Amino acid sequence: MIRPDELTYDERGLVPCIVQDAATGEVLMLAWQSRDALAQTLTTGKATFWSRSRNELWVKGATSGNTQEVRAARTDCDRDAVLVRVTPAGPACHTGARSCFFEALGPDAPEAAGETLARLEQTLAARRTDPPAGSYTAKLYGDDNLRHKKIGEEATELVMASLRGDKTEIASEAADLLYHLLVLLQARDVSLTDVAAVLREREGKRR
C-alpha cells in the first residue's frame, strides 16, 4: 500500500484529486490535495482537500452538508494524481449539480446506465422521506402488498414483451420493472451499492 508521502507532489505541494461516485463510476469533481489533506481523507473517511484560494484544508460538505464518504483511494502509475471513490450525501458541485462535469465539450456520449439508476435511486429516496401528495411512488412505499404485486405484474409483462421480440417494448417493460424493483429495495433499506457488492462477490465464480 502506498503512503501519502510517497506521492509526487507539484511545486506547491499538491496533487490533483479526482472524485468518483463509488456506486456508479460517475466523475463528480476535481480538487487538490496536500499531504495533510490526503492523510486526513484516509484517516477520517471524509473527502478533504486543500483550498488554493484560502490556503487551508477544507472538508467537503462541512458547511453545505454535501459530504463525501470515502470508500477507496488510489493513485496512478506515476503517483502524481489521486482517485477517491466516495458515497456522496448530496450534489458535488456548488451549482447544485450532482457532478461538476455537466458542461458538454464536443460530442456528448449517452449517460452511463449506472448514473441513471443512481439518480433514480436518489429521487425515490426523496419521495420516501418527503412524499408529495398524490405520488404513485409514495403510494407504493405505503403498501407492502401493492409493491409485491407490481413486481410480479411487471415481471410478467417483461416476459410477454420478450416473447413478442420488440426491442423497444422490452426496454420499456424492463424500465418499469427496474423502477418497481428499486422501490422495493428502498422500502427494505437495501441500496444499489448493496446489490453491487453481492454481484462483485460472484464475479469469476462458476454458475
Give the model confidence (pLDDT) of 5-21 as tens digits: 999 999 999 999 999 99
Q: Where in the chain is the domain with CATH 1.10.287.1080?
A: 113-202
Q: Where in the chain is the domain with CATH 3.10.20.810?
A: 4-88
pLDDT tops 70 at residue 140: yes
pLDDT at 59: 96
| Residue type, position 116, single letter | T
Q: Which residues pair with 20 in a beta bridge?
A: 27, 85
Query: What is the mean predicted confidence (pLDDT) over 134-152?
Result: 95
pLDDT at 156: 98
pLDDT tops 90 at residue 30: yes
pLDDT in tens, 35-93: 999 999 999 999 999 999 999 999 999 989 999 999 999 999 999 999 999 999 889 99
pLDDT at 206: 66
> What is the rounded distance in angstroms from the CA atom of residue 195 to the CA atom of residue 60?
27
pLDDT at 193: 83
82-88 and 15-21 beta bridge pairing? parallel
> What is the rounded distance in angstroms from the CA atom of residue 154 to the CA atom of residue 126?
23
pLDDT tops 70 at residue 207: no
pLDDT at 6: 94
pLDDT in tens, 88-124: 988 999 999 889 998 888 777 777 787 788 889 888 9
4-88 homologous superfamily: Phosphoribosyl-AMP cyclohydrolase (3.10.20.810)
Helices (H), 45-188: 113-129, 136-141, 144-164, 167-187
pLDDT in tens, 174-205: 999 999 999 999 999 999 888 988 998 898 77
CB 123 within 8 A of CB 98: no
What CATH architecture is 113-202?
Orthogonal Bundle (1.10)
> What is the rounded distance in angstroms from the CA atom of residue 132 to the CA atom of residue 118?
20
3-state SS, 95-126, equals CCCCCCCCCCCCCCCCCCHHHHHHHHHHHHHH
3-state SS, residue 31: strand
- pLDDT higher for 152 or 118? 152
pLDDT at 138: 93
pLDDT tops 80 at residue 143: yes
pLDDT at 112: 76
